[in-house]
């Protein structure tokens, strides 16, 4: 190979900028752009490249491929499916596969989990069937990205559990059994979840001569960015391609590794350094104020048990951050909002501000959004796995869906019906909507009552204009029951209800852009459900039961797709509200950061996942080793260190840190992050006192 | 404001030409709106799926997957299209390197223009032929094709950025655009590109982009709605614009009203999806 380089360094040292420059050099040297492959750990890491490619001075030519390992697998399988389907044991190799996403995989997995739960095999772990399902799916993914067999997963978990409470190993075996049933079902029905896509890529596609030829002809130059966030299987693919490449540039962020819980293997990423002809370590970040440089060093040192403690030569970090101590949680939020407002007032673009918390729950998101909007400041937030059904617009539409299908014997509560009417009929306020719902809706009755049948006095109170809209909606639902019920899949029903009634002039969703986004998500989820579970629509004679199945799955909380619209809105000039890890994985730098509630243990705690384990289910972890409490403690410290250093290095001006003495629940908070900051403050206060 | 990194394609520009408001809603505001585009929905969806399957079938064939492996399990309709494709001698007799499903891009007046080609055949002595597969219900009309943005954007971008494929600078007259339709497989529409057409296209596309930019700079006002309300029957924003309740029948739709924007049909950046615990 002509040139292979490995560049490592912390965030902000210019690695990605260098890679973009390197791309230009390759193009200038006559390399054809379609022969360059850029491997990224996840979609959001691609934005610097996407921006560069659309710059006016970017050379004309073919598009450069930006892919994740999931994208590489999916593309390969879409094209080369006929070569691998039979060998991999699919029951219908001549038919096209169905690609599952998390949401549609959950639909299938749900059946097997429920059956297992009913037998009592999961009784000894106190978690919901939904969480059992997500963790079994996680084990499947971990097996695929590490190259483990499913029974290796169980063996590792059982060994790591050691001689603790004896009820856990049977649960691991039960989880394996569920995973195996799911896998068998996928093979019988040409379904490809993420784990099976990776499995097919590694175990079948890479062995196909035609695929190798395709890959060799297409890709001669490789750039792998954020190598520390890639999974072991990505490294396997890089090794597989290595000898056929003309050049490779591998970039490694020394302080990162944030995706360990998704299977990233930072240690393994470093192994590729040995394959490269040149290796460079870059240390000096650009645009990091000296005060924050010292703060990053302090946090890195204090949270790293292996690193000798030394006073950095840099400036006093206290000028780099503001620490605000509040007694109560709302007080801290008010302080943060006031500070954000002051910054914006002084001309800071809202897009240069992020407000971060370890977790961003609905109530915190709502509290911040409402307060900032009251000050006229735009916000955008992203939280994965947000259930669409929780949005008021979606709940209204789902209530109407239930009302349109009286045969389901699903009787929405009166309050839900009133809320739905208030949402969708412009003229109805909560009082009128409640009054109307009380009169026209009787749980158990086949259809809604007519407006004409209401006493005149009540009609007047509700208003005739609202009554007219109500009648239009009622007649549409009645016509559907009489003429169309059974002929329409659930997504079509939702789409038509929205388009033909709810978003028409005079109805609540007309020009309601947020409602449009929410219902679009719901329709999309119903479409995926239908296309995946019932791909041969021509074989379905009656959609009523299928629509009901969809409705029930939504009610059970199985809609867990990421809120795509929010990702797209991140580009807006708005204050970004996010969990800290979400911000880090966007890999962007901003001027101002707000860290909320640093006394909370949530900054430090790992999610409770009794059926899986991100460290034990890693290729680098010894398969015969018990996971000890000491390991748990040090892994938490290390995770916190990476998180903190990563955040500081992505700040260009100042960090505002909010402390709430009492948590939202009223408990006193003294988490490890707060203690670390106390140490830093004490140390520098002492230094200042020294004459 | 256009989203950072926005790339224009024939379908986004066609949206602007058809209805500026639709462009604004789809690409500037990125407004999801779940109205029905066309009825009967299932029939339309099935037709779209067939189109995707056919494109994939051809891609697989062009990449060298054996015919016998591709033919297994095709239903009657797809098998019919497939046989017609195998009988398309113009393509199969053509020598040269083949690039199925390749995307090229070029900068025009500070905007990035992108084209995703079904197939390019590069013949060193003859130039480059663009093949575009259509699965429309009706035979193609040459005059209709000539009005579509695709017919101008595809050869223009190839002329600008296809030199790397040919190994030397490409002249517009070396480009041929061949539109092949399953509804009339023996009557492909073949359009020879030229220097004159290239200049006209450059001028037209630059003007279009300038008009679009001016519209963007005017701020958040509602852009002009199409004067041809027939189009609204096949647009998901119909209710938002107060332009009717019920979707039109897809058999009455313009020939390529259902094209897939390449930017939404790409799965390169599939994430390891985050699972909520």
Tens of pLDDT, residues A120-155: 999 988 889 989 999 999 999 999 999 999 999 999
How much is the pLDDT for A383? 57
Q: Which of A197, A230, A264 is the last residue of a domain?
A: A197
Residue A691 has pLDDT above 60, yes or no: no
How much is the pLDDT for A70? 94
- Which residues on chain A are in Cβ contact (under 8 Å) with B273? 101-102, 194, 562
* Confidence category of residue B269, pLDDT binned at 50, 70, 90: very low
Is the CB of B270 inside 8 Å of chain A's CB atoms?
Answer: yes
Sign of CA dihedral A482, A486, A490, A493: negative
Asked, for residue B269, whether it belongs to a domain, the answer is no
How much is the pLDDT for A690? 57
Average pLDDT of the residues in A91-110: 90
Query: A207-227 as b/e, with b when 16 or more CB fall inside 10 Å?
Result: ebebbeebbeeebbbbbbbbb
How much is the pLDDT for B255? 52
Structure confidence by residue, pLDDT tens digits, A5-37: 999 999 889 999 999 999 999 999 989 898 999
How much is the pLDDT for A607? 80
Residue A57 has pLDDT above 80, yes or no: yes
Based on the fold, state whether residues A432 and A521 are members of the same structural domain: yes
Question: What separation in angstroms does the CA of A309 have from each of A293, A302, A312, A604?
Answer: 16, 7, 9, 21
Based on the fold, state whether residues A497 and A431 are members of the same structural domain: yes
CATH number, domain containing residue B142: 3.90.320.10
Closest-CA distance of chain A to residue B157, Å:
9
Asked, for residue B271, whether it belongs to a domain, the answer is no
Element (H, E) at A9: strand A3-9
Is the CB of B105 inside 8 Å of chain A's CB atoms?
Answer: yes
Chain B residues 233-252 within an 8 A CB cutoff of chain A? 236, 238-240, 242, 245-247
Asked, for residue B67, whether it belongs to a domain, the answer is yes
Tell me which of A198-212, A307-321, A438-452, B243-257 is least confident: A307-321
Based on the fold, state whether residues A662 and A645 are members of the same structural domain: yes
Q: Distance of alpha carbon A218 from its chain centroid, rounded? A: 31
Based on the fold, state whether residues A594 and A659 are members of the same structural domain: yes
For chain A, give the mean pLDDT.
90
Based on the fold, state whether residues A167 and A24 are members of the same structural domain: no
Q: Is A509 helix (H, G, I), strand (E, B) or coil?
A: coil
Cα nearest neighbour of B73 on chain A:
A94
How much is the pLDDT for A262? 86
* Confidence category of residue A471, pLDDT binned at 50, 70, 90: very high
Whether residues B60 and A80 touch (CB distance < 8 A) is answered with yes
Nearest by CB to residue B103, choosing from A62, A145, A571, is A62
Residue A584 has pLDDT above 80, yes or no: yes
Is the CB of A87 inside 8 Å of chain B's CB atoms?
Answer: no
Q: Which of B21, B6, B50, B42 is nearest to B260 (CA)?
A: B50
Based on the fold, state whether residues A517 and A422 are members of the same structural domain: yes
What's the token pair of residue B76? 């009657």
What's the token pair of residue A523? 């329709």
Say which DSSP state B220 is in: S
> How many C-beta atoms surround the C-beta of residue A669 within 10 A?
19
Sign of CA dihedral B88, B92, B93, B99: positive
* CB proximity list for A660: less than 8 A, separation 6 or greater: A326, A327, A328, A329, A331, A332, A597, A599, A669
Q: Report how many helices (DSSP H) and strands (DSSP E) chain A contains, helices first.
A: 26, 15
Burial (CB < 10 A; 0-12, 13-18, 19+), residue B67, is exposed
How much is the pLDDT for A12? 86
Percent of chain B with pLDDT over 70: 91
Nearest by CB to residue B275, choosing from A69, A134, A504, is A134
Assess contact for B277 and A135: CB atoms under 8 A.
Answer: yes
Domain span at residue A259? 3-75+204-281
Q: What phi-psi label fits residue A649: left (phi over 0), alpha (psi between -120 and 50 degrees) or beta?
A: alpha
Q: Report how many helices (DSSP H) and strands (DSSP E) chain B contains, helices first.
A: 10, 8
Q: Which of A264, A321, A274 is nearest to A296 (CA)?
A: A321
Check residues A666 and A548 and name the one with the higher pLDDT: A548
Based on the fold, state whether residues A593 and A460 are members of the same structural domain: no
CATH number, domain containing residue A8: 3.40.50.300
How much is the pLDDT for A51? 87
Asked, for residue B272, whether it belongs to a domain, the answer is no
Q: Report how far residue A224's alpha carbon sits from residue A4's, in angstroms, rounded to the nearest whole number.
A: 11
Structure confidence by residue, pLDDT tens digits, B68-92: 999 998 999 999 999 999 999 999 9
- Which residues on chain A are in Cβ contact (under 8 Å) with B64? 210, 213
Whether residues A500 and B246 touch (CB distance < 8 A) is answered with yes
Residue A634 has pLDDT above 50, yes or no: yes
Residue B257 has pLDDT above 60, yes or no: no
Q: Count of domains in chain B?
A: 1
Asked, for residue B147, whether it belongs to a domain, the answer is yes
Whether residues A60 and B63 touch (CB distance < 8 A) is answered with no
ipTM higher than 0.95?
no
How much is the pLDDT for A246? 96
Based on the fold, state whether residues A518 and A431 are members of the same structural domain: yes
For chain B, give the mean pLDDT.
88
Is the CB of A56 inside 8 Å of chain B's CB atoms?
Answer: yes
Residue B272 has pLDDT above 60, yes or no: no
Whether residues B65 and A102 touch (CB distance < 8 A) is answered with no
Nearest by CB to residue B63, choosing from A79, A565, A571, is A79
How much is the pLDDT for A386? 52
Asked, for residue B110, whether it belongs to a domain, the answer is yes
Q: Which of A281, A299, A318 is the last residue of a domain?
A: A281
Asked, for residue A26, whether it belongs to a domain, the answer is yes
* Confidence category of residue A670, pLDDT binned at 50, 70, 90: confident
Based on the fold, state whether residues A382 and A392 are members of the same structural domain: no
Residue A572 has pLDDT above 70, yes or no: no
Provide the number of CB pairs (under 8 Å) joining chain A to chain B.
Answer: 201
Asked, for residue A84, whether it belongs to a domain, the answer is no
Q: At what angle do helices A329-345 and A362-374 cross, to 10 degrees?
A: 40
How much is the pLDDT for A82? 96
Asked, for residue B159, whether it belongs to a domain, the answer is yes
Residue A666 has pLDDT above 70, yes or no: yes
The residue assigned the tokens 């059956």 is A115
Residue A166 has pLDDT above 60, yes or no: yes
Asked, for residue A88, whether it belongs to a domain, the answer is no
Structure confidence by residue, pLDDT tens digits, B106-141: 999 889 999 999 999 998 777 999 999 999 888 888
Is the CB of A520 inside 8 Å of chain B's CB atoms?
Answer: yes
The residue assigned the tokens 């029903």 is A493
Cα nearest neighbour of B168 on chain A:
A30
Q: Which of A178, A197, A216 is the last residue of a domain?
A: A197
Whether residues A499 and B236 touch (CB distance < 8 A) is answered with yes
Residue B274 has pLDDT above 70, yes or no: no
Q: Which of B130, B4, B100 is nearest to A34 (CA)?
A: B100
H-state helical runs in A303-413: 329-345, 362-374, 392-404
**B175-181/A278-281 β-pairing:** unpaired
* Confidence category of residue A305, pLDDT binned at 50, 70, 90: low
* Confidence category of residue B277, pLDDT binned at 50, 70, 90: very low
Q: Distance of alpha carbon A203 from its chain centroid, rounded? A: 27
Whether residues A80 and B274 touch (CB distance < 8 A) is answered with no
Asked, for residue B276, whether it belongs to a domain, the answer is no
Q: Report how far residue A407's alpha carbon sits from residue A399's, in angstroms, rounded to the nearest whole number.
A: 14
The residue assigned the tokens 């005079």 is A506
Based on the fold, state whether residues A552 and A586 are members of the same structural domain: no
How much is the pLDDT for A173? 96
Domain span at residue B255? 7-263
Nearest by CB to residue B105, choosing from A63, A69, A608, is A63
Q: Count of domains in chain A?
A: 4
Structure confidence by residue, pLDDT tens digits, A477-523: 999 999 888 899 999 999 999 999 999 999 999 989 989 988 998 99
Is the CB of B41 inside 8 Å of chain A's CB atoms?
Answer: yes
Assess contact for A615 and A260: CB atoms under 8 A.
Answer: yes
Percent of chain A with pLDDT over 70: 95
């Amino acid at each position: 190979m002509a040139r292979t380089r490995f560049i490592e360094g912390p965030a902000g040292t210019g690695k990605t900028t260098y890679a973009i420059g390197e791309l230009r050099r390759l193009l200038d040297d006559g390399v054809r752009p379609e022969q360059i492959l850029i491997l990224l750990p996840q979609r959001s890491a691609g934005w610097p490249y996407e921006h560069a490619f659309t710059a006016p001075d970017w050379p004309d030519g073919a598009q450069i491929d930006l892919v994740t390992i999931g994208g590489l697998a999916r593309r390969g399988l879409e094209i080369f499916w006929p070569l691998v389907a039979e060998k991999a044991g699919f029951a219908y190799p001549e038919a096209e596969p169905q690609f599952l996403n998390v949401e549609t995989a959950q639909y299938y997995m749900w059946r097997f989990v429920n059956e297992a739960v009913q037998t009592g095999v999961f009784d000894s772990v106190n978690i919901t069937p939904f969480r059992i399902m997500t963790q079994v799916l996680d084990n499947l993914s971990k097996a695929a990205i590490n190259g483990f067999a499913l029974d290796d997963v169980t063996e590792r978990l059982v060994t790591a559990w050691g001689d603790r409470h004896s009820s856990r190993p049977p649960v691991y075996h039960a989880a394996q059994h569920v995973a195996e049933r799911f896998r068998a079902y996928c093979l019988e029905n040409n379904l490809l979840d993420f784990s099976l896509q990776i499995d097919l890529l590694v175990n079948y596609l890479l062995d196909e001569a035609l695929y190798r030829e395709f890959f060799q002809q297409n890709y001669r130059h490789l750039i792998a960015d954020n190598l520390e966030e890639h999974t072991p299987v990505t490294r396997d693919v890089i090794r597989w391609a290595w000898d056929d490449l003309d050049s490779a540039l591998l970039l490694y962020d020394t302080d990162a590794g944030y995706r360990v819980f998704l299977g990233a293997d930072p240690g393994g990423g470093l192994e590729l350094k040995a394959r490269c002809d040149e290796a460079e370590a870059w240390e000096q970040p650009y645009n990091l104020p000296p005060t924050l440089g010292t703060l990053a060093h302090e946090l890195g040192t204090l949270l790293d048990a292996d690193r000798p403690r030394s006073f950095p030569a840099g400036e006093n970090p206290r000028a780099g951050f503001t620490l605000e101590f509040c007694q109560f949680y709302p007080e801290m939020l008010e302080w943060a909002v006031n500070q954000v407002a002051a910054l914006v007032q002084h001309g800071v673009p809202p897009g240069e501000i992020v407000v971060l918390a370890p977790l961003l729950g609905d109530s915190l998101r709502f509290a911040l959004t409402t307060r900032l909007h009251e000050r006229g400041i735009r916000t955008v937030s992203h939280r994965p796995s947000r259930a669409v059904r929780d949005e008021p617009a979606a709940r209204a539409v789902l209530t109407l869906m239930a009302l349109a299908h009286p045969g389901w014997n699903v009787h929405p509560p009166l309050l839900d019906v009133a809320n739905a009417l208030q949402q969708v009929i412009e003229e109805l306020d909560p009082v009128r909507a409640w009054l109307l719902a009380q009169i026209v809706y009787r749980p158990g009755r086949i259809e809604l009552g007519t407006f004409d049948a209401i006493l005149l006095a009540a009609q007047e109170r509700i208003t005739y204009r609202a009554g007219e809209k109500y009648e239009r909606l009622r007649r549409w639902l009645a016509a559907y029951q009489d003429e169309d019920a059974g002929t329409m899949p659930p997504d079509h029903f939702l789409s038509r209800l929205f388009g033909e009634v709810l978003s028409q002039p005079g109805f609540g969703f007309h020009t309601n852009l947020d409602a449009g986004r929410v219902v679009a998500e719901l329709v999309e989820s119903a479409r995926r459900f239908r296309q995946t579970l019932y791909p041969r629509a021509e074989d379905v004679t009656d959609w009523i039961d299928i629509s009901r199945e969809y409705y029930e799955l939504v009610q059970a909380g199985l809609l867990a797709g990421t809120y795509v619209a929010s990702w797209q809105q991140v580009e807006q000039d708005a204050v970004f509200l996010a969990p800290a890890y979400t911000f880090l994985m966007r890999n962007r730098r901003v001027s101002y950061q707000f860290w909320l509630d640093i006394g909370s243990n949530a900054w430090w705690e790992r999610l409770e996942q009794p059926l899986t384990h991100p460290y034990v289910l890693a290729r680098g972890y010894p398969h015969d080793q018990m996971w000890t409490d000491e390991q748990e403690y040090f892994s938490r410290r290390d995770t916190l260190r990476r998180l903190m250093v990563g955040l500081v290095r992505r700040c260009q001006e100042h960090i505002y840190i909010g402390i709430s003495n009492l948590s939202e629940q009223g408990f006193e908070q003294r988490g490890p992050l707060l203690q670390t900051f106390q140490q830093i403050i004490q140390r520098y206060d002492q230094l200042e006192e020294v004459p | 404001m256009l989203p950072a990194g926005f790339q224009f394609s024939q379908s986004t520009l066609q949206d602007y030409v058809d209805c500026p408001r639709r462009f604004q809603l789809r690409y500037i505001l990125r407004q999801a709106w779940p109205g029905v585009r066309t009825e009967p929905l299932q029939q339309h969806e099935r037709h779209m799926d067939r189109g995707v399957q056919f494109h994939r079938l051809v891609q697989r064939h062009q990449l060298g997957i054996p015919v016998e492996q591709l033919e297994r399990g095709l239903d009657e309709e797809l098998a019919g299209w497939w046989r017609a494709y195998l009988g398309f001698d113009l393509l199969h007799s053509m020598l040269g390197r083949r690039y199925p499903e390749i995307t090229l891009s070029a900068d025009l007046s500070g905007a990035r223009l992108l084209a995703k080609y079904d197939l390019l055949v590069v013949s060193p002595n003859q130039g480059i032929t663009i093949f575009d597969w259509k699965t429309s219900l009706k035979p193609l009309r040459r005059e209709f094709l000539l009005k579509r943005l695709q017919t101008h954007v595809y050869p223009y971008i190839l002329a600008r950025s296809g030199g790397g494929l040919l190994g030397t600078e490409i002249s517009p007259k070396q480009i041929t655009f061949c539109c092949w339709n399953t509804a009339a497989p023996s009557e492909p529409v073949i359009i020879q590109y030229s220097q004159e057409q290239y200049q006209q296209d450059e001028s037209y596309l630059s003007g279009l982009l300038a008009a679009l930019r001016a519209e963007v700079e005017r701020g958040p006002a509602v852009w002009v709605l199409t004067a041809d309300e027939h189009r609204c029957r096949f647009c998901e924003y119909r209710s938002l614009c107060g332009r009717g309740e019920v979707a039109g029948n897809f058999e009455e739709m313009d020939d390529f009203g259902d094209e897939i924007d390449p930017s939404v049909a790409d799965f390169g950046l599939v994430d390891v999806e985050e699972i909520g615990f």
